[in-house]
Amino acid sequence: MIKLLLTDAHLLTKGQLEEIRTMGYDMDMVSDKAQLSPGQAQKYEAVMAFGIFRHTPLSYFTNLKMVHSVATGVEAMPVEELAKRGIPLYKGKDLYSIPMAEWVVCKVLEALKHSREMACRQREHVWRRRSWAFTDGTLDELYGKSVLIVGAGDIGKTLAGMLRAFEVSSIVGVNTNGRQVLGFDRCVKMDELGGELPKADIVVITCPLTHATYHLFDAKRLGLLKESAILVNVSRGKIVDEEALITALTSDKLAMFVTDVAETEPLPMGSPLWEKENVILTPHNSFITNMRPVRMSAFLMKNLAAYAKGEPMEGPVNYQKGY
Which tens digits make up the pLDDT trace of 216-258? 999 999 999 999 999 999 999 999 999 999 999 999 999 999 9
Long-range contacts of 258-261 (CB under 8 A, 24+ apart): 258/104, 258/107, 258/108, 258/110, 258/111, 258/230, 258/231, 258/232, 258/233, 259/232, 259/233, 259/234, 260/100, 260/103, 260/233, 260/234, 260/284, 260/285, 260/286, 261/233, 261/234, 261/235, 261/236, 261/237
Give residue 162's pLDDT band: very low, low, confident or very high (50, 70, 90): very high
Tell me the pTM.
0.91
What is the sign, positive or negative, of the torsion defined by CA atoms of 74, 49, 265, 152?
positive
Q: Is the pLDDT of residue 134 over 70?
A: no
CA distance 170 to 164: 9
**What are the tens digits of pLDDT across the range 33-88?**
999 999 999 999 999 999 999 999 999 999 999 999 999 889 999 999 999 999 99
Structural domains in the chain, CATH included, are: 2-93+291-309 (3.40.50.720), 97-281 (3.40.50.720)
- pLDDT category at 135 given cuts 50, 70, 90 is low
